[in-house]
Amino acid sequence: MTNKQDKLRYFVTGGAGFIGAHLTNRLLDTTEGTVTVYDNFSTGRSWHFGERIHDQRLKVIDADCRQADVLEQAIAGHDVVFHLASNSDIASAATDPDVDFANGTLLTRNVLEAMRKTGVKRIFFTSGSGVYGEVPPKPIPEDYDKMVPVSTYGACKLACEALISAYSFMFDMKGVVFRFANVVGPFQTHGVAHDFLRRVAHDPTQLKIFGDGTQSKPYIHVDDVLDAFLMLADLNRPGHQYFNVASEDFLTVSEIADIVVERMGLTGVQYNYTGGSRGWKADVPLYRLDSSKIRSLGWANRYSSREAVIASVDAMIEDLSQGRITPAP
């Protein structure tokens, strides 16, 4: 992991959001470096930093990656960029298909251009399993040759990956792309467990579940995601690289519903399934990721899928009690 002598200058887009705030906190806690958070606070929150908000090594810029001139000025002089700013509500594209381009691909282009113009050479990017599209029920490696996204989220993430690859080759940058499983943990603002918790908080007698509940996916705790980030940052490998990051087990949607109900201390909740194999039109109901590449470098997840979701739900229950999450039908 990153050592205390590390005094790099880190730049984190989306650094006040779910994964970004955890990364910012970890960098402040485990390195001697400075961290610039660049976030428009659409979903990010300053309370995510706790007392670290007063750390003189932390600089917070309230701005949008679509503001190219502001971004270029802010990013200048940094050593490493963690680009996490993107649309976090994947299903929202069902009614607003432009959201993933406007809040994903376009932002990545602007970040890469700002890096090129200011001479910043290292970028770490959060992609996801959506780039693979519909896949067979077996672990998919990074070099899977039939990548046909079925959602605008997956398509725009794949476009971002392609841009990073091109800029890395053309302008001598170092790009690391992480294709994460479903990331869960404290500070979550979206996701199936988050939706379930809000619904049963609103009506503890019943729970609407999109699909038939058999959708089956791996889940990864945000702490395991940070371990992957910082391990690759330490290794500082040359060139452009891709890594799947996932647990080797999985949970169904019905099992997640059971966890939410149990952790909320509820009984007799009626599950109302909408039917069908998908939670929404572009949902990929089943996938597995082969993470052997990053495991060969020393990474290992500390949480199973079930442990990760339980920890996430417990954190959300605390947020619910503090009024940070509101009940909703």
Number of Cβ within 10 Å of residue 205's Cβ equals 9
DSSP-derived 3-state class of residue 170: helix
pLDDT at residue 97, rounded to an integer = 83
What residue ranges of the chain are covered by domains with CATH 3.40.50.720? Answer: 9-184+219-245
In the prediction, which pLDDT does 116 show?
A: 99
Q: Max Cα separation, the chain? A: 60
Q: 314 to each of 79, 214, 224, how far by Cα in Å?
A: 36, 23, 17
Instruction: Identify the pLDDT of residue 167.
Output: 98
pTM of the model: 0.94
Q: Which residues of the chain have pLDDT under 50?
A: 1-2, 4-5
153 is catalytic: yes
Instruction: Give 9-184+219-245's CATH code, choosing from 3.40.50.720, 3.40.50.2300, 3.40.50.2000, 3.10.20.740.
Output: 3.40.50.720
Q: Which residue of the set 10, 38, 132, 153 is catalytic? A: 153
Is 192-217+250-287+304-321 in CATH node 3.20.20.210? Answer: no
Whole-number pLDDT of residue 4: 44
Residues of CATH 3.90.25.10 domain(s) within the chain?
Answer: 192-217+250-287+304-321
Burial class (CB in 10 A: 0-12, 13-18, 19+), 204: middle
Give per-residue burial for 42-52: e unless 16+ CB within 10 Å, then b: ebbeeebbeeb
Q: Please check whether residue 197 is in contact with residue 262, taking contact to mean a CB–CB distance below 8 angstroms.
A: no
